[in-house]
Structure 1
Amino acid sequence: MLKLLLRIAMAVAGLAFLADAGLPFTTQALHVDGHSTTTSRISGNTGPTCDTAYHLKFTDGGLDSCSVGYATYSRLNDGDAVTVKSSRLLKSCVSIERAGETVHTERYWKIAHIALGILLVVIALGWIKTEEGTWSWH
């Protein structure tokens, strides 16, 4: 029973990713309300390193925040009026513009959503199975 529920959840998640990639963007006029960072420590072969994620917070719309790179994080100031394009279903930030100039764009988000959606649906249908850490087609 648990396996069936897990497969249904994967199918629903996969279909959500596919639908999100297929639906048109939503465009919102927003204002930057704040900046935040999250730093995480990562253990690697060459020793521990840190990774910092940069987030912009917005007001005046349905989208609360976006994860961006450092260049976008440092270019936009609190109070800046921006136009944000995002996906409709999962609210993924696709691009941010300020005064007609694109300051942030996610180039491969659609390909990633489609690939992940297909993978989840295929696993849910049982066409790919994992057995003892290996993947196999059935």
Structure 2
Amino acid sequence: MLLNLLRTVFIVIGALLIYETTLPVRGESLLVDRLSEETKSVDPSERRGTENYILHFAGDGQLTSCTVSRSAYERIEAGDRLDVEYTPLLRQCVSIRRGAEAIVTASHWKTLSVVFGVLLIGLVIFRIKPG
């Protein structure tokens, strides 16, 4: 039962990743309301962990926040107006620009999505046998 559920989840996520690459990206001009950092640690006693840098947007846009790299985070300030392109289903930011300046450009996101989608579906087909 649990194995069949896992198979179904992998197939759905894999298909979703592949399907999203066929959809056009959406673009909006958004105002940065605030910036935040979030540290996730596997062991609470450790001071270091995975850091997420998040932009929060103000206004009536469909995208409310976006996770970026540290270098992009350091180049953006609250109050900046950014042109953001994102995927329609999973809302992943694939391009962030301030005027003509490219701050984030994820040029290989389609390739990576297809590869991970195919890997998940392939894992189900060739490795996870039904119970």
TM-score grouping bracket, smaller chain normalisation: 0.7 to 0.9
1:53 match: 52
Check conservation: 1:42, 1:48, Cα contact below 8 A: no
**Counterpart residue number, 2:38:** 38
Partner of 2:73: 73
State TM-score, norm by structure 2: 0.83
CA drift of 1:17 comes to 0.5
Stretches of structure 1 that go unaligned for 5 or more consecutive residues are 131-138
Pair 42,48 (structure 1): closer, same or farther in 2 beyond 3 Å? farther
2:88 matched to which residue of 1?
A: 88
Give the partner amino acid of 1:74.
E
Q: Distance in 1 between matches of 2:3 and 2:36?
A: 39
Amino acid aligned to 1:57: H
Which residue is equivalent to 1:111?
A: 111
RMSD: 2.1
Output the CA distance in 2 between the equivalents of 1:48 and 1:42.
10
1:121 is matched with: 121
Secondary structure in structure 1 of the residue aligned to 2:107: coil
Residue 118 of structure 2 aligns to a residue in which SS? helix
Structure 2's unaligned 5+ residue stretches are none
Report if aligned partners of 1:42, 1:49 keep a CA contact under 8 Å in 2.
no
Q: Which structure carries more strand by proportion?
A: 1
Q: Distance in 2 between matches of 1:114 and 1:99?
A: 30
* TM-score, length-scaled by structure 1: 0.79
Which letter maps to 2:90?
L
% identical equivalent positions: 33
In the TM superposition, residue 108 of structure 1 has moved relative to its aligned partner by 2.7
Match of 1:10 in 2: 10
Shift of 1:94: 0.1
Distance of 1:48 and 1:75 partners within structure 2: 25
Look at both structures and tell me which one has the larger radius of gyration over its CA atoms: 1
